[in-house]
DNA sequence: ACCTGAACACCGTTCAAGT
DNA sequence: ACCTGAACACCGTTCAAGT
């Protein structure tokens, strides 16, 4: 329950921004988004609720820092790839996995330069488009599409996780959605009626990657043909 | 301030789910996401806070219903297009505008079949891909990419609007982001250093549409060549 | 059936007071 | 400089009581 062992891991009162952010992440992961409160976090850090405000100005800032931390860890796991397209895929998948493990992170990311991992991510995607050879005029849009897609899906996952917290209930929900689509009139809703069959068992991650592939295919069209 | 005129618009106590949702939307639009509280909404509807629970089970459900309502209005504004690609573009832009006008809506949308406008939107995109002639195997992924991109950007906009509520401060923030990117080492951050120049004045809406275009270009690659 | 509004169990945030 | 924890100004939600 409570931490009493002095042990070797520093004295109990080494309060720091990093310790706060890491405590917040653990709380978010174990108790969910509603589980992160200043009171609960203070209790976990063996301090008063107000102490946190010495290091962090806001709950929004705390969430943003936690999300950026998670993003940084995800980026660190990605192996270097020589092929820029493979590198973009690898980054995208790493973020997908990270946001699946920490769904609360999906909504707290922005262009904010304070989020240093975010800056690194944005640069990585952009520099890979340079390597691919996307011409300057097309580059900004291609980058925006990649980044928006990757972060956007993360946000969608977050919204979904918020409404269906448990994994088991997520599958059940998907099945319920499919059932309701099957009940739609095939004349007015031909697509959903048909897609209902594929929805329940489908591989989210593979489908996400297929989206990346479509964008990359579109980007290839903007390349000046080399010959 | 308060509504007293009996006028012709029904007696003051015609409380209904629709009136609640519309009141919520007005509150969200005028006061922001934090402005929607059961107390404030009840006051606006001249009733008690608990009365709302007769029609709506939850704040989440209220947000979802408000977002779906806004989505429905947006879809209704779109002119019929005969070209399926133009139709997808038109839908995408309508949603972009709607989510810019109501940024709080971006995070409350899901596959939930209760959200009837959402169902209509999902079907529209899918049926247009059928018209384009995307083969069944590729169709599900193409649909997912389009829908994820459109809703994902909406969610990103919502996150951004949450942190930078006012329009003026949004431009200032973009400028500040660009400045910080310009200060990055061009050796380690070649892309962001260069992109900083284009960031402040850029057209969000056009760039969003360019992303749709990239996905559509990728989708075209999956078409079986007709000859 | 539908509405009221006080009451409950929380929040984020502040700030005087301590060390 | 850094920490404490009570106090303030809120929340969403419930529920006995009313009509």
Residue nearest to nucleotide C13 (CA to C1'): A50
Tell me the whole-structure pTM to 2 decimals: 0.92
Helices B84-101 and B116-132, axial angle in degrees (round to 10): 150
Confidence of residue A227 (pLDDT cuts 50, 70, 90): low
- In strand C, which positions have an atom below 7 A from any protein CB? 2-7, 10-16
Q: What's CA B135's distance to the chain center, in Å?
A: 28
Question: Considering only CA atoms, which of B142, B119, B80 is closest in space to residue A192?
Answer: B119
Look at residue A166 in the predicted model and tell me its pLDDT: 74
Q: How many angstroms separate the CA atoms of B78 and B72, rounded? A: 11
State yes or no: pLDDT of A57 exceeds 80.
yes
Pick from B48, B151, B223: nearest CA to A217: B223
Long-range contacts of A57-63 (CB under 8 A, 24+ apart): A60/A108, A60/B162, A60/B163, A62/A20, A62/A21, A62/A24, A62/A36, A63/A24, A63/A36, A63/A104, A63/A108
Q: Has residue A225 got a pLDDT over 90? A: no
| Rounded Cα gap, residues A195 and B139, in angstroms | 9
Distance A155 CA to D15 C1' (A): 37
3-class state of residue B221 by DSSP:
coil
One-character DSSP codes across A165-211: -SHHHHHHHHHHHHHHHHTS-TTT-HHHHHHTTTTTT--HHHHHHHH
Burial call A87-110: b when 16+ CB within 10 Å, e when fewer: bbbbbbbbbbebbbebbbbbbbbb
**Closest Cα partner for B149 from A151, A81, A74?**
A151
Query: To the nearest 10°, the Cα dihedral for A60, A61, A66, A70?
Result: 100
Taking the CA of residue B9 and the C1' sugar atom of nucleotide C10, their distance in angstroms comes to: 39
A171 or A215, which is more confident? Answer: A215
pLDDT digits 0-9 by tens, A129-151: 999 999 999 999 999 999 999 99
Task: Say how far apart CA B51 and CA B47 lie, in whole Å.
Answer: 7
Q: Which residues, at least 6 apart from B32, have a Cβ–Cβ distance to it below 8 Å?
A: B104, B165
Q: Which residue's entry shows tokens 């996400």?
A: A208
Please give the mean pLDDT across all residues of chain A.
Answer: 91
Q: What is the largest CA-CA distance in chain A?
A: 69
pLDDT of residue A3: 34
Interface test with A, best of B159, B204, B216 (most A CBs within 10 A): B159
- Map tokens 């009837």 to a residue: B116
Greatest distance between any 2 Cα atoms in chain B: 69
- Answer for the pair A134, A142: CB distance below 8 angstroms, yes or no: yes
Rounded to whole angstroms, the distance from the CA of residue A53 to the C1' of nucleotide C15 is 12
Task: Look at residues A105, A104, A130, A129 and name the one whose alpha carbon lies nearest to residue A117.
Answer: A105
* Cβ–Cβ gap B211/A145 under 8 Å: yes
pLDDT for the residue numbered A167: 73
Per-residue pLDDT of chain B (227 residues; tens, 9 = 90+): 333 333 333 334 689 999 999 999 999 999 999 999 999 999 999 999 999 999 999 999 999 999 999 999 999 999 999 999 999 999 999 999 999 999 999 999 999 999 999 999 999 999 999 999 999 999 999 999 999 999 999 999 888 877 776 777 788 889 999 999 999 999 999 999 999 999 998 999 999 999 999 999 999 999 977 55
Residues of A (38-77) placing their beta carbon closer than 7 angstroms to any atom of strand D are: 42, 46-51, 53-55
pLDDT, residue B226, reads 59
Query: ∠B191-B196-B202 over CA atoms, to 5°?
Result: 115
B120 beta carbon to strand D: under 7 Å:
no
Please report the domains of chain A, with CATH numbers, ordered by start residue: 1-56 (1.10.10), 80-221 (1.10.357.10)
Among B134, B59, B162, B101, smallest CA distance to A110 is for B162
Q: Which of A67, A61, A1, A60 is nearest to A28 (CA)?
A: A67
Residue A30 has, within 13 A of its CA and on its CB side, a CA count of 10
What would the pLDDT profile of A101-134 be if each residue is shown by its tens digit? 999 999 999 999 999 999 999 999 999 999 999 9
Mean pLDDT across A15-22 = 97
pLDDT over 90 at A34, yes or no: yes
- At residue B13, the pLDDT reads 62
């Amino acid at each position: 329950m409570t931490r009493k062992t002095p042990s070797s891991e520093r004295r109990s009162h080494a309060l720091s921004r990093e310790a706060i952010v890491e405590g917040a992440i653990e709380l978010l992961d174990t108790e969910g988004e509603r589980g992160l409160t200043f009171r609960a976090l203070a209790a976990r850090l063996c301090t008063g609720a107000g102490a946190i405000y010495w290091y962090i100005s806001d709950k929004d800032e705390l969430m943003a820092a936690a999300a950026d931390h998670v993003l940084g860890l995800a980026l660190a796991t990605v192996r270097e790839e020589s092929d820029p397209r493979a590198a973009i895929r690898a980054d995208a998948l790493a973020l997908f996995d990270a946001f699946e493990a920490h769904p609360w992170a999906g909504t707290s990311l922005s262009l904010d330069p304070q989020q240093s991992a975010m800056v690194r991510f944005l640069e990585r995607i952009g520099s890979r488009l340079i390597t691919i050879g996307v011409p300057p005029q097309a580059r900004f849009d291609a980058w925006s599409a990649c980044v928006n897609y990757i972060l956007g899906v993360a946000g969608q996952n977050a919204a979904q996780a918020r409404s269906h917290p448990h994994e088991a209930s997520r599958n059940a929900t998907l099945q319920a959605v499919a059932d309701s689509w099957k009940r739609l009139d095939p004349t007015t809703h031909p697509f959903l009626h048909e897609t209902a069959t594929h929805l329940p068992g489908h591989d989210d991650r593979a489908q996400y990657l297929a989206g990346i592939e479509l964008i990359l295919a579109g980007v290839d069209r903007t390349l000046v043909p080399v010959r």
